[in-house]
């Protein structure tokens, strides 16, 4: 019995020395620009305006500077892995990136783990020439809005929701103050 215990102990000590075969991520070799363009649902360059850390991922607010596929809005919210981001790592606030995005029904736009997204300064001349030929026109930010109206702009729901909340809190506070004075 002691011999079996000794053999098991020696095997456990030698176990870390045993060379195991490991597998890299499927994105170890990045696709060419034309392959990446075909593979992803949206291709844009954008500036990171906000990063909101969530439990499972980061929510990234973008201002789109140029679009090449699938997206024409000037503002966009995407999600990315909070640790890895894409191949280049998680996005940095105020950084300008070339994003290769996937669209998932129910969750929206995502910067997938193996996406070849990268900082815009690292775009090669070959990639730039390929993308220039595919540039899309961005939609006007105020499309469909009544000019000058606070009721029909993108931020109107936030504005009026905030006004409503302040009014309700103010009225409630006033009645609490009146009731305390009477007591």
Q: Is 11 helix (H, G, I), strand (E, B) or coil?
A: helix
* Whole-angstrom distance, CA of residue 80 vs CA of residue 56: 9
* Whole-angstrom distance, CA of residue 113 vs CA of residue 16: 29
Single pTM value for the model: 0.62
Produce one character per residue of 127-164: b if its CB has 16 or more CB atoms within 10 Å, e if not: beebbeeeeeeeeeeeeeeeeeeeeebeeeeeeeeeee
Distant-in-sequence, close-in-space partners of 164: CB < 8 Å, separation ≥ 6: none
Per-residue pLDDT of the chain (183 residues; tens, 9 = 90+): 667 766 766 766 666 655 554 445 556 688 899 999 999 999 999 999 999 988 888 899 999 999 999 999 999 999 988 776 555 567 888 999 999 999 999 889 999 888 898 999 999 999 999 999 999 999 876 544 443 444 444 455 666 667 767 777 777 777 777 887 876
Distant-in-sequence, close-in-space partners of 14: CB < 8 Å, separation ≥ 6: none
């Amino acid at each position: 019995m002691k011999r079996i215990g000794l053999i098991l102990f020696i095997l456990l000590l030698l176990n870390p020395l045993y060379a195991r075969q490991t597998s890299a991520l499927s994105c170890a070799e990045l696709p060419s620009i034309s392959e990446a363009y075909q593979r992803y649902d949206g291709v844009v360059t954008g500036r990171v305006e906000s990063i909101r850390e969530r439990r499972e991922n980061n929510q990234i607010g973008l201002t789109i500077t140029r679009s090449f596929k699938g997206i024409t809005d000037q503002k966009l919210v995407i999600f990315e892995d909070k640790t890895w981001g894409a191949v280049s790592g998680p996005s940095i606030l105020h950084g300008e990136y070339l994003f290769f995005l996937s669209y998932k029904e129910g969750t929206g736009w995502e910067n997938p783990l193996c996406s070849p997204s990268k900082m815009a300064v690292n775009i090669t001349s070959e990639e730039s020439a390929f993308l220039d030929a595919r540039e899309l026109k961005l939609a006007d930010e105020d499309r469909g809005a009544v000019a000058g109206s606070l009721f029909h702009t993108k931020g109107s729901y936030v504005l009026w929701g905030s006004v409503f909340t302040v009014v309700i809190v103010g009225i409630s506070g006033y009645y609490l103050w009146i009731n305390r004075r009477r007591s």
